[in-house]
Amino acid sequence: MGSGGLALLLALALATCVSPAGRKCELSGLWRNNQESLMEISAVRDDGGFQGKYLTRVSLAGGCIRVSPLKGAQHDLGEVAWPTFGFTVRWERFSNATAVFVGQCFVDAGGKETLATTWLLREAVGSLEEDWKATRVGRNVFTRKRSHRGKTLQSWSPSCEDGLAPAL
């Protein structure tokens, strides 16, 4: 093997094993939280941007829940094993609220991946005077959900008519 091959191997080793504490964490894939909500994240682009879908199982007012689009960004590509990230979920049609999540991806010694996140859920209010009560805070911990034969989040999505329920 020439020196070029060796350099390539070293580069690969660095890319896949950059943390003394464990394996590099990959955001892309299917995730489930302790409320049984599901989240699917696309491949992360070179500029850190990613897209995805969020299917909540909980809602502020009940009613029909839909898969909602999410958009976000991951910090530090390649350099850090466990990067921080953030994303926005736009609850389509069934709520006037917007949620943002911020978190970090961890991998334990056994290879188990965890997304530890904190979120803010903002409802629309009618005036600046009501702004004080518009924001809820919470915490969500996601673990990777193994997907059978390429089953994706859309498969779990309920079918329903347009509703009006605000939701997380």
Q: Which stretch binds a copy of itself (CB under 8 A): 1-9, 86-94, 143-151, 152-160?
A: 86-94
Window 96-125: contact mask with a copy of itself (x via CB under 8 A): xxxxxxxxx-x-x-----x-x-xxxxxxxx
Residue pair 118/28 in contact by the 8 Å Cβ criterion: no
83 binds a copy of itself (CB under 8 A): yes
Q: Which of residues 4-33 bind a copy of itself (CB under 8 A)?
A: 21
Reference 141, options 108, 101, 95, 110; nearest CA is 101
Please count the other Cβ atoms lying within 10 Å of the Cβ belonging to residue 165. Answer: 14
Window 41-80: contact mask with a copy of itself (x via CB under 8 A): ------xxx--------x-x--------x-xxxxxx---x
- Give every CB contact of residue 42 below 8 A, 6+ residues apart in sequence: 28, 50, 51, 52
Chain residues binding a copy of itself by CB under 8 A are 21, 35, 47-49, 58, 60, 69, 71-76, 80, 82-91, 96-104, 106, 108, 114, 116, 118-139, 168
